Amino acid sequence: MLRVVIDTNVMLSGLLWHGAPHVLLEHVRAGTLGLVSSPAILAELENVIARPKFDVILARSNTSREIALAELR
């Protein structure tokens, strides 16, 4: 299995919007790609996704920060 390190911006895009980053995360969820991460990357993602500007986008996608982040842990 191919393992990938995904930049925080790409992870955020994949969680909140459709497009190539979303497809990449779908492969991770399906197990066709292995995600290599670190506590620092996940902490950065938590800090970024907590910004108020993402509240509306999360509400539209009918998900929460916790659910979105849990998928990547």
Residues 13-61: tens digit of each pLDDT: 998 888 999 999 999 999 999 999 999 999 999 999 999 999 888 888 7
Name the band, by pLDDT with cuts 50, 70 and 90, for residue 63.
confident
CA torsion sign for 65, 50, 25, 5 is negative
* Rounded distance between C-alpha atoms, residue 25 and residue 10, angstroms: 9
